[in-house]
Amino acid sequence: MLLVDDILFSPIKGINWIFKEIHKLAEEELSGEADRIRESLTELYMQLETGQITEEEFDHQESDLLDKLDALDEDDVMIGDIDEDDEDENEEEE
């Protein structure tokens, strides 16, 4: 019976694997975008400290970057995390 079960459920397992890969790539992309925004914030602070930009310019650019970062955090919550326990259970079933 196990061989028949494996054959019947292989398309479902394949689709499940594809969705997990898409989820992983989406999380990596969000993480990379957040890192780029943090780097921009660091550069912005350096520009303020060196006098390259004014306080007003700094405040405006900082608020824009922080808004983008907050939006990414909200997107990250919407995507959610796959429980590692679920992955372990799936691997044990195979």
pLDDT greater than 60 at residue 59: yes
Helices (H) and strands (E) in the chain, counts: 3, 0
pLDDT tens track for 8-54: 888 888 899 999 999 899 888 888 888 899 999 999 999 999 999 89
Spatial distance between the Cα atoms of 28 and 47, rounded to a whole number of angstroms: 29
Q: pTM value?
A: 0.57
Could you tell me how many residues make up the chain?
Answer: 94
pLDDT greater than 70 at residue 93: no
